[in-house]
Chains A and B, each alone.
Chain A
Amino acid sequence: MVVLKSPAFIVGILLLVVYFGVLGRAIGVATEQVAREAMESYIGVVNEDLNHVTRRLLLLANATLGGRLAEVPTVEEGLRAFPAVLLVPGGFGETLLRNSTVYVYGYASLDSISPAQSSRVQLVYSVVRVLEELGRALVAAERGVNLSEISRTLVPRVEIRVGGRVVDFGALSSLQLSTMMFTYMVGLLGILALMYSAQSVATEKEEKAFEMLLTLPISRTTIAVAKVVGAAVLSVIMVVAYFAGFSFIFASVRPPVETGPAGAEGSRTVVITASVWDLLQFLGSEGTALLLLSLGLMLLFSGSLGLLIGSLASDTRVAGAIAGPIGAALYISLLAFQFVGIPLNPLSSLLGASVYGLPFAIFVSYVLGVKTIAVQATGLATAVTLLTVLAVVRVFKSERILIGFSMRRRRSRPTS
């Protein structure tokens, strides 16, 4: 009941409502855009088979898909025009008529590794499923047999192009899972650093040790730095503990994913794994160095922001009421940023810089081979962090750190 009457708590709730209202709208628009793109996209088709069955099948499929299949001369040209291309190899129709396993090749080009962008891959699989169903009906009609006598023989071989790299479905899923786990840890690291540093000052105020601390012969900057470093060390220890726990839980969980018709010849089983090592291999030494820098920046930013909150708050209750919603907002923004996978550009890199998204932005830009975005995002994040640090130092050197920031007008004379 007492907390409910705290102005900081009420302002925190209002901030969250407004923030998530705006964020929700942004995510909604972006997700809708991706979904519409997936639903309305044209798919290039390279047909290397002159068999009449293949030609009829493609015509039927095109009609079924609302005219979204567009014939293209080569895969490369198709990917330049469309997000996905299907290659029907020579002998496709003949093999299909024999009711034997037949391969069809799919190509998807992604400009992000977000789950939302993966819909392009799903698009290829969906088209293959349509071809399979129509193909069975066609073959049954050609051979004059019952549909149930025609087995499912179409096996998709999908190649996914992410930036300049070529990966298969398993590798992409592993990459997404690894990124998700990594981002989760990074977000946790940031929130913990934020909370620990906010609490460090607020607790000292509450325990009435703060004034004595401030009159020690130590510069205020040194005290602030010590608190930020302390919060960073504590949060790293905590995240390592979390990470160890997660590794223990997920060590034996490696769900196999089928990429073809169950039991069909040529069907492959891929194993999806989460590995920080895989991520670092993608980044190389330069990218890894930038990633470590981004983690340092994030710890400094979170610690400084927390210190700012703790310095202006009168006690742990107020500090928690403000730091909690801010931490949650930053974390959920990071997840949203990762899910939507907004194409990287200077604007999204700014978003990355301000919402803990820098490590993710760096990683994606290295995977996609757009390193300038990583550099821009790092520059912006550095600027944001420095501004936060300067604000903290300014508050620490001012008397605001002692008299706080009151949300109500002071009505009475302060204590003598």
Chain B
Amino acid sequence: MEVRDLVKVYPGGVRGVDGLSFKVFAGEIYGLVGPNGSGKTTTLRIIATLLKPSGGYVRVLGLDPVTEAVKVRELIAYLPEEAGAYRDLTGLDFIRFFLRARFSGRKLEEAVEEATRIADLGPDIRRPVRGYSKGMKRLLALSVVLASRPKLFILDEPTSGLDVERSLRIRNLIREYARSFGATVLLSSHNMLEVEYLCDRVGIIYRGRLVAEGVPEELRARYSARNLEEVFVRAVGG
């Protein structure tokens, strides 16, 4: 996946992304980190075919997300930052509704079973979503994304709203799915600890531009930092 000189200008003239370039190689877990308003979600939304770039070059598994959007969507699964679920459906119905767009017959049943296992909501999976906590909804959405088995996972703050135990479990699942199925993962996070734990490479984004990129250990060494938080502060000149 390649992003080159990506620019996104919103109506009103606000620049969401301003000349961003990075590459994600097949099978790796790449983390985009940066403060609020730095352009992480905008970048992920462009790659996920939701927004159109104002300028620059984007290729997702060799495909143009603007002109070949449906083909790109067949290869990706996207978890938005604030993913929710239909209030009146049960958790199980929600899983089936989304997975039906990708699978049918026996494969659909297997995928539903897999998502149910990932969500791990016990008997609550058969209850309407309106009674779910934020963490339960997050798990439900993530279970659908993981069980979709795409070539590229695009995860915006995957553990946002989850408690420590569930966050750890989700990180392990992401790593497991990336390794076992050879999938590529592009994720964004505020949580530097999470990024260090999960990602093969990290891109630090600030005001719509990439200010540093590399393997976490390399970055720490390059900026003489103890952790990624210090790397970030030094990279943006703080």
Spell out A's residues near B (CB within 8 Å): 203-204, 207-209, 211-219, 398-399, 402-403, 406, 409-410, 412-416
Q: Which of B23-31, B71-79, B171-179 contacts A (4 or more CB under 8 A)?
A: B71-79
Residues of A within 8 A of B49 (CB): 214-215
Query: Complex formed: what's the CA distance from A268 to B38 in Å?
Result: 83
Shortest distance from the beta carbon of B113 to any chain A beta carbon, whole Å: 20
Query: Complex formed: what's the CA distance from A217 to B150 in Å?
Result: 11
Task: Please state if A217 and B83 are interface contacts (CB–CB under 8 Å).
Answer: no
Contacts beyond the supplied A208-B80, A212-B98, A412-B14: 6 A-B pairs with Cβ under 8 Å: A211-B48, A215-B76, A402-B50, A403-B10, A413-B16, A416-B34
Given A208-B84, A209-B86, residue A410 in contact with residue B70 (CB < 8 A): no
Shortest distance from the beta carbon of A313 to any chain B beta carbon, whole Å: 16
Query: Complex formed: what's the CA distance from A244 to B142 in Å?
Result: 44
Given A209-B84, A209-B85, residue A414 in contact with residue B101 (CB < 8 A): no
Shortest distance from the beta carbon of B52 to any chain A beta carbon, whole Å: 6
Given A217-B73, A416-B35, A416-B37, residue A211 in contact with residue B11 (CB < 8 A): no
Interface residues on B, range: 35 or more
* Leading 6 A-B pairs by shortest Cβ distance: A208-B84, A410-B12, A217-B74, A211-B80, A215-B78, A216-B101
B38 contact from A403, A412, A416, Cβ within 8 A: A416
Query: Complex formed: what's the CA distance from A80 to B76 in Å?
Result: 74
Q: Which of B39-47, B118-126, B222-230 contacts A (4 or more CB under 8 A)?
A: B39-47
Task: Please state if B14 and A413 are interface contacts (CB–CB under 8 Å).
Answer: yes
Residue pairs across A and B with Cβ atoms less than 8 A apart, 5 shown, are A208-B85, A209-B84, A215-B76, A219-B70, A412-B14
Shortest distance from the beta carbon of B140 to any chain A beta carbon, whole Å: 10
- Residue B36 at the A interface, CB < 8 A? yes
Residues of A within 8 A of B45 (CB): 211, 402
Residues of B within 8 A of A211 (CB): 45, 48, 50, 78, 80, 83
Residues of B within 8 A of A207 (CB): 84-87
Given A216-B102, A217-B101, A218-B70, residue A399 in contact with residue B78 (CB < 8 A): no
Task: Please state if B12 and A212 are interface contacts (CB–CB under 8 Å).
Answer: no
Shortest distance from the beta carbon of B89 to any chain A beta carbon, whole Å: 9
Query: Complex formed: what's the CA distance from A114 to B76 in Å?
Result: 59
Task: Please state if B11 and A218 are interface contacts (CB–CB under 8 Å).
Answer: no
Question: Interface centre among A213, A217, A403, by most B CB within 10 Å?
Answer: A217
Residues of B within 8 A of A409 (CB): 12
- Residue B144 at the A interface, CB < 8 A? yes
Shortest distance from the beta carbon of B99 to any chain A beta carbon, whole Å: 10
Given A215-B76, A217-B73, A218-B70, residue A416 in contact with residue B83 (CB < 8 A): no
Q: Which residue of B lies closest to A409 (CB)?
A: B12
B73 contact from A203, A209, A215, A402, Cβ within 8 A: A215
Interface residues of B in 98-149 (CB under 8 A from A): 98, 101-102, 141, 144-145
Task: Please state if A415 and B48 are interface contacts (CB–CB under 8 Å).
Answer: no
A416 contact from B39, B51, B77, B79, Cβ within 8 A: B39
Q: Which residue of A lies closest to B17 (CB)?
A: A416
Residues of B within 8 A of A215 (CB): 48-50, 73, 76-78
Query: Complex formed: what's the CA distance from A214 to B51 in Å?
Result: 11
Residues of A within 8 A of B85 (CB): 207-209
B82 contact from A203, A208, A218, Cβ within 8 A: A208
Given A212-B141, A415-B41, A416-B36, residue A399 in contact with residue B50 (CB < 8 A): yes
Residues of B within 8 A of A219 (CB): 70
Query: Complex formed: what's the CA distance from A209 to B102 in Å?
Result: 17
A209 contact from B41, B51, B83, Cβ within 8 A: B83
